[in-house]
Amino acid sequence: MTITARCHCGRTVMEVDGELPEKLTRCTCSLCSKRGHLFAYYRPDQFTVRQADSDAAYRWRSKQVANHFCSACGCDTYADSPAFDKDGSWDGKTRRIALNARLIDDFEAADWPVAVIDGKNLW
């Protein structure tokens, strides 16, 4: 299936070739806990940015994660990050897309099952 997601103003439009995950992910790190997004994870080859007229990215600490957002309406859109294992290790090349599931069309992320990752202590 094709999943589409867009920011509030519509300047950012994203598509995923894949399914909704069984669970969304809520991360407890200092950034995610402030932003409040729920992530749906995908491989980079499943993910396409169709439009990104006001895209900006925020990077902190390691600078390895690009936290994209719409600079016009302020919505978090997606994060392009290393595909970390649960212990925080990384093979040095595999990436992961964390789509903000709250932006998915016709989908209520708050009603979906959620898994919590302990980003507060992992990074």
| Residue ranges in contact with Zn ion by CB under 5 A | 7, 9, 11, 70, 72-73
Q: How far is the CB of 28 from Zn ion (least distance, A)?
A: 26
- Smaller CB distance to Zn ion: residue 19 or 53? 53
On whether the CB atoms of residues 70 and 54 are closer than 8 A, the answer is yes
Residue among 56 and 114 whose Cβ is closer to Zn ion: 56
Of 9 and 116, which has the nearer Cβ to Zn ion?
A: 9
Where is 121: in which H helix or E strand? Answer: helix 119-122
Give the shortest CB-66-to-Zn ion separation in angstroms.
17
Which residues, 6+ apart, have CB-to-CB distance to 101 below 8 Å?
A: 5, 24, 37, 38, 39, 40, 107, 109, 112
Number of other CB atoms surrounding residue 4 within 10 Å:
15
Distance CA 17, CA 11 (A): 20
Please report how close the Cβ of residue 7 comes to Zn ion at its closest, in angstroms. Answer: 3
Give least dist CB 72 to Zn ion, A.
4
Nearer to Zn ion among residue 20 and residue 72 (C-beta): 72
Q: Tokens 């595999």, residue?
A: 94
